[in-house]
Amino acid sequence: MSDLKPNSQFTVEFNVNILTFMSEECIGIGGSPGKDVVVKASLLAQEPLKYVDNSGIFPIYRVDIDESLYGGDDVNYLGHIGLPVPCDDIFLHQDPVWEIKHLTNEDDSLFYSNASGDAWVYVSVDSGVGGSQKVFITDIAVQLTEQ
């Protein structure tokens, strides 16, 4: 984002749509693949530059997302990827139905613009579950209200 009023305070509302099929009732390795896979978002005043950690293997961003189910210092928790559908034999052994799930921040989020009026939108999916999950971020909208 650009052309924001420099050095100003805004409230931020995130609206993120994801495409998911996961039931919030299922249990998996290390937790629920529906309730323990969460979406987090942030508006950042500085570009979250990528760097390689000490192992030299994994590139990461300098954004405090907190390695738990809720947001860290830099992000807001938007919700989990689970749908209110039963976790039964039909769901587990046949083709599940994919649905769009809308997520937004429940609490007010504040953003302070930098001197150039630029901002970077950051959205991530964070999992506390072992194994792989499939989820797609389909739409991201950010509403800003100057304070």
- pLDDT computed for residue 17 by the predictor: 98
d(CA 43, CA 46): 9
* Partners of 60 in beta bridges: 51
Q: What pLDDT score was predicted for residue 66?
A: 61
Residue 90 corresponds to which tokens in the numbers above? 């039909």
Looking at residue 127, its pLDDT comes to 83
Radius of gyration, CA atoms only, the chain: 17
Token pair belonging to 61: 């961003």
Helices (H), the chain: 89-93
Give the pLDDT score at 60: 67
Q: What is the pLDDT of residue 65?
A: 60
Percentage of the chain exceeding pLDDT 90 = 41
Backbone torsions φ then ψ of 141, nearest 5 degrees: -130, 140
Answer whether 98's CB lies under 8 Å from 21's CB.
yes
Average pLDDT over residues 86-105: 84
pTM for the complete prediction? Answer: 0.83
Vertex 42 angle, CA 40 and 45, to 5°: 160
- pLDDT score of 46 more than 90: no
